[in-house]
Amino acid sequence: MSLNTNALIAHLSVKMLGNARKDEQLTADVHDRHHMATDAGRYQKCLLPEACLSPHRKIVSAARGEHRQLTLMTPLGPLLPASKTAEAMACIRRYEQSWDAATRRFIRDYHTNIGIARRKLAAAFDESDYPTLAELPGIFQFTFSLTPLPRAEMLDEIAGLADAQIHDLRRQLNESTARAAQAARDDLMQRILFRLGNLSRCLSNPDARVRERTVESLTELLDSAAAYNLTNDASITRLVADCRRELTLATEVLREDDTARRRSATAAQMILAPYSRKIAA
C-alpha cells in the first residue's frame, strides 16, 4: 500500500489579532523607577478586553484538537487518510463557520471595545496600535488545506536537472516518504496503546468506575484503525484484532459483570505486555 496514493497532507492554519503590545514608555518608566537595566524586562499592555478574543481562542483550541485526532503526525506534515477527506472537511468546516461568526461579532463590536480600552489604558492608549476595520478580515484567517504527497515521478517534469541530480533528489524523496510512513505507523500504534493502557488501568482497579468515554475512545479508534493504517502494517492489524477478540468492549457489561471485567483486565495486560518499551518511550 503506497502512502502517496492513500493519504494527503492536511494543514490547519490560523491567524488572529494579537492582544499584547510592548509599551516602550511604560517599560522605560518601570526601569527608571526601579533602577533596572534597559534590557531587564518589558511591559506589555492588553489592547482590548480579554473577552473580545476568547471565542476565537476556544475555537482554535477545539479545531486543533480535532485536527490532531483526524491526522497522523509525520515529518512531511499531518497526514489524513484519503478515505477520511469528506469527514475531515465537514468537521473543520463547522469550526470555520464558528470562526467566521466570531469574527463578524468582533468587527461589529470593535469600536465599542476600543472605547473601553481607551478608558482602561488612559495615557498608555495609542490609536496606532489598532488596525482599521478594513484590515480586520485579513487579520483573522482560518484555513484548512489538503496537499498531495510529493512523488518521485514529479522530478522528471522539472527542466534543467541533470540525471545525477534527479537520482539524488529521488533518493531523498523516497527516504523522506519512508520516514513519514514509519512516523504515521508509530503515531497510530501509540494512540491505540495509550487508550488500551487507560482501559487496562481502569479495569485493574476494582474501585474505579468504568467510564463510558474510556471504552468508547478505544472502540472508536479500533473502528477507524484500518483507514489510518496507511501502510497496511501487520503489527497494527494484529493489535486491533487482539483487542477485538480478547476484550469486552461494552461499558455496561464491564460495570455490572465482575467476571467480564477481570477477564478483560487480564487480557488487556497481556496484550500490552509485548509493547511495554513502546509505551515507556
d(CA 230, CA 185): 7
Q: Which three cell numbers stand for residue 162?
A: 541533470
- Cβ atoms within 10 Å of 152's Cβ, excluding its own: 15
Residue 201: closest CA among 188, 181, 187, 215: 215
**Cβ atoms of residues 93 and 66 within 8 Å:** no
Residue-by-residue pLDDT tens, the chain, 281 positions: 578 889 999 999 999 999 888 877 777 777 888 888 877 777 788 899 999 999 999 999 999 999 999 999 999 999 999 999 999 999 999 999 999 999 999 999 999 999 999 999 998 899 999 999 999 999 999 999 999 998 777 766 676 777 777 778 888 888 899 999 999 999 999 999 999 999 999 999 999 999 999 999 999 999 999 999 999 999 999 999 999 999 999 999 999 999 999 999 999 999 999 987 665 45
pLDDT for residue 279? 57
Q: How high is the mean pLDDT of the chain? A: 91
d(CA 238, CA 241): 5
pLDDT in tens, 192-234: 999 999 999 999 999 999 999 999 999 999 999 999 999 999 9
pLDDT at 259 (0 to 100): 95
**Separation between Cα atoms, residue 231 and residue 56, nearest integer Å:** 37
pLDDT of residue 278: 60
- CA 121, 124, 128, 131 dihedral sign is negative
Distance CA 8, CA 62 (A): 22
